[in-house]
């Protein structure tokens, strides 16, 4: 279906579409981090006591505020609290939940859950683990309920989809590959290598076989976008192409390894038990791929539509998205490099 779209028009139209999308969903102060849910790890100590470890995301200096309460006369006591004061990361709070004697169907309620999700993992005294997502309008958990495996599968597939679709930097890199490759066949090879690479490092990181601190990973992701923008602004020499132009799959695979480490951060924050990791990892990875396909399908449909609009043929629409992406990537790189040198 791309036979009638020249190499120039491929870059021109896709670049314009990306530029329009970026202008709508971004501002120069965007943090670009993927959506991060709140996390509640609940461990049964005995028949009447549970421990709750609550992790609440900090987004651009805004602290998430959620308060746990118990129904049926139970008490919730704060044991410790650790606040993140650098504008990102997670606030951590530990609670002791004391149930009322002979309480029927004890329920843990999370007040203040207004936006986003709260992922809860309940570990019973016998070792059984249940995972459930809570949200506004459904903010309570029955501590004696058993959660089905299908609920867990749906949860982590959805988490993977949400993580990629709200990760503006990851999406920008994928869009950059569309600009970087000069035809759809080459792009298909490049995106396949990107998928393979991020699947490898996502698995290794989630299984704790590879550990790299988050700040340098996030800085590297911003640098990968900046590199693509730099390459796209260089004149294309068909007779003497650069290494990245000659082997775009090598670039996508190399940077895909970095992006996989970024994807793994969502699973690490959940703090899964070792028995939960294989299923959660598989479902999360499937969700990431589904989200990536949704984004690519959206871009391709827009590509076909915009190719028919004469105004997109103007050279201005080829340069605007490149410089928009470059400016955003530069901002993220400087921002994350600053954080990296002040955190590590």
178-194 confidence digits (pLDDT tens)? 878 877 888 888 889 99
Q: Is the per-residue pLDDT at 97 higher than 70?
A: yes
In this structure, the answer to whether residues 296 and 325 fall within a common structural domain is yes
Contacts of 326 (CB under 8 A, 6+ apart): 226, 229, 230, 233
Q: Is residue 162 part of a domain?
A: no
pTM exceeding the 0.85 threshold for the entire prediction: no
pLDDT band at 26 (very low <50, low <70, confident <90, very high): very low
| Judgement on whether residues 174 and 114 belong to the same structural domain of the protein | no
Look-up: residue for tokens 């000069």?
182
Domain that holds residue 213: 7-34+167-343
Residue 191 and residue 248 share a domain: yes
Q: Answer with the one of 111, 146, 181 that is the final residue of a domain.
A: 146
Residue 153 in any domain: the answer is no
Between CA 184 and CA 305 the distance in angstroms is 16
Q: Are residues 69 and 189 in the same domain?
A: no
In a domain, 131, yes or no: yes
Are both 28 and 70 inside the same structural domain?
no
Q: Which of 61, 54, 65 is nearest to 121 (CA)?
A: 54
Same domain, 66 and 79: yes
Q: CA Rg, the chain, in Å? A: 23
Residue finishing a domain among 112, 146, 180? 146
Residue 159 in any domain: the answer is no
286 and 200 within one domain? yes
List C-alpha distances in Å: 171 to 4, 132, 154, 202, 334: 26, 27, 23, 17, 19
Query: Same structural domain for residues 19 and 73?
Result: no
- Structural domain contains residue 76: yes
CB distance 37 to 119 below 8 Å: yes
Q: Taking residues 270-280, what's their average pLDDT?
A: 67
185/103 same-domain check: no
Residue 18 sits in the same domain as residue 110: no
Q: Which of 117, 146, 175 is the last residue of a domain?
A: 146
Is the Cβ–Cβ distance between 266 and 159 less than 8 Å?
Answer: yes
Mean pLDDT of 98-114: 83
Predicted confidence band of residue 127 (pLDDT cuts 50, 70, 90): confident
Q: Verify that 252 and 308 share a domain, yes or no.
A: yes
Kindly tell me if the per-residue pLDDT of 244 is higher than 60.
yes
Cα–Cα distance measured from residue 45 to residue 102, given in angstroms and rounded to the nearest whole number: 16
83 domain residue, yes or no: yes
* Residue 120: band (very low, low, confident or very high) from pLDDT cuts 50, 70, 90: confident
Q: Using an 8 Å Cβ cutoff, are 142 and 124 in contact? A: no
Whether residues 128 and 192 share a domain: the answer is no
Number of domains the chain is built from? 2
- 252 forms beta bridges with none
Residue 332 clears pLDDT 90, i.e. is over it: no
Residue 154 forms part of a structural domain: no
């Amino acid at each position: 279906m791309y036979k009638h779209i020249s190499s120039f028009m491929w870059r021109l139209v896709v670049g314009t579409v990306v530029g329009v999308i970026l202008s709508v969903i971004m501002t120069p102060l965007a943090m670009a981090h993927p959506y991060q849910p709140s996390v509640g790890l609940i461990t049964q100590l005995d028949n009447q006591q549970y421990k709750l470890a609550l992790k609440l995301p900090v987004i651009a200096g805004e602290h998430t505020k959620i308060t746990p309460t118990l129904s049926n006369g139970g008490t919730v006591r704060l044991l410790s609290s650790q606040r993140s004061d650098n504008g990102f990361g997670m606030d951590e709070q530990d609670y002791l939940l004391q149930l009322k004697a002979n309480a029927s169907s004890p329920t843990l309620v999370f007040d203040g859950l207004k936006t986003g999700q709260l992922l809860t993992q309940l570990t019973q005294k016998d070792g059984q683990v249940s995972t459930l997502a809570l949200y506004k309008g459904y903010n309570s958990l029955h501590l004696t309920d058993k959660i089905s495996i299908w609920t867990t599968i749906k949860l982590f597939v959805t988490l993977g989809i949400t993580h990629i679709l709200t990760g503006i930097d990851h999406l920008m890199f994928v869009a950059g590959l569309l600009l970087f490759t000069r035809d759809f066949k080459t792009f298909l090879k490049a995106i396949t290598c990107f998928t393979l690479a991020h699947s490898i490092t996502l698995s290794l990181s989630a299984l704790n076989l590879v550990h790299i601190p988050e700040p340098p990973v996030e800085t590297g992701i911003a640098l990968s976008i900046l590199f693509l923008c730099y390459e796209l602004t260089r004149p294309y020499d068909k007779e003497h192409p650069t290494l990245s132009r000659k082997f775009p799959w090598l670039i996508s695979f190399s940077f895909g390894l970095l992006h996989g480490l970024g994807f793994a951060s969502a699973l690490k924050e959940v703090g899964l038990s070792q028995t939960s990791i294989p299923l959660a990892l598989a479902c999360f990875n499937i969700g990431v791929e589904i989200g990536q396909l949704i984004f690519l399908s959206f871009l391709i449909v827009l590509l076909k539509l915009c190719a028919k609009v004469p105004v997109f043929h103007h050279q201005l629409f080829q340069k605007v998205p490149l410089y928009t992406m470059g400016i955003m990537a530069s901002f993220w790189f400087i921002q994350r490099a600053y954080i990296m040198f002040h955190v590590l």
